[in-house]
Amino acid sequence: MVKIAVMVSGGGTNLQALIDAERRGELKNGELSAVISSNADAYALKRANRAFIPSYVLRRHDFGSTEAYGQALAEMLEQLDIGLVVLAGFMTVLSSDFCRRFEGRIMNIHPSLIPSFCGPGFYGLHVHEAALAKGVKVTGATVHFVSEVVDGGAIILQKAVAVQQDDTPEVLQKRVMQEAEWKLLPHAVSLFCEGRLQIEGERVKIL
């Protein structure tokens, strides 16, 4: 059984999708074992407590550098014997050392079809604002492995979502969550825990 740590900073809607999937028996060979938040007031912590998942708070500003934060985070994950780290709305930049240490064992959900609308500055509503400003007809979500390059790791799964003519960023964000994020992330996590993801250079093969 692969122990999973979900790292959060806010509301935790993708965490809830994982909790719901686990209850339905859809996280095959995986167990939600820890929720780690960079924000002590994150609503995601309440979701974790309701699901009886141990939760922890590790705030970036309590550490002198990104590297020191990454070291503390890595030590916590290793003490908890975590096999997979899932970034689900985690708003703190991780150090290169941390990314290398957990290479192939960290995945992230991003609310666009990478390589569109990704990289530094593209997070939350900013992604959907950019998509609408560009006038794209299709957007979506991507689950990818995390590398030292922001949103640059190997793509695991993607799902397209139609953009409607009268969409606002908030309306589009909700549709992308419902139609793509909440479905893709549990599926990708399950594939990892089943040992069905194989990284081949910049690509991921599903076995």
Phi, psi angles (nearest 5°) of residue 37: -115, 140
**Cα gap 145→152, rounded to integer Å:** 8
Task: Give the pLDDT of residue 201.
Answer: 84
pLDDT in tens, the chain (207 residues): 999 999 999 999 999 999 999 999 999 999 999 999 999 999 999 999 999 999 999 999 999 999 999 999 999 999 999 999 999 999 988 999 999 999 999 999 999 999 999 998 899 999 999 999 999 999 999 999 999 888 899 999 999 999 999 999 999 999 999 999 999 999 999 999 999 999 998 899 999
Task: Give the pLDDT of residue 93.
Answer: 85
Query: What domains are defined for the chain?
Result: 2-206 (3.40.50.170)
Q: Output Rg (C-alpha) for the chain, integer angstroms.
A: 16
Q: What is the number of alpha carbons within 13 Å of residue 21 lying toward its C-beta?
A: 24
Task: Give the pLDDT of residue 3.
Answer: 98
Task: Give the pLDDT of residue 150.
Answer: 87
Cα 13 to chain centroid, rounded: 11
- Helices 13-23 and 182-193 cross at an angle (nearest 10°) of 60
**Cα gap 123→168, rounded to integer Å:** 16
User: pTM for the full model?
Assistant: 0.95
**Cα gap 168→184, rounded to integer Å:** 23
Please answer whether residues 10 and 123 qualify as being in contact, where contact means their C-beta atoms are separated by less than 8 angstroms: no
Choosing from 61, 110, 144, 187, the catalytic residue is 110
List CB contacts of 38: < 8 A, sequence separation 6 or more: 7, 8, 9, 57, 58, 59, 60, 90, 91, 92
Whether residue 61 lies in the annotated active site: no
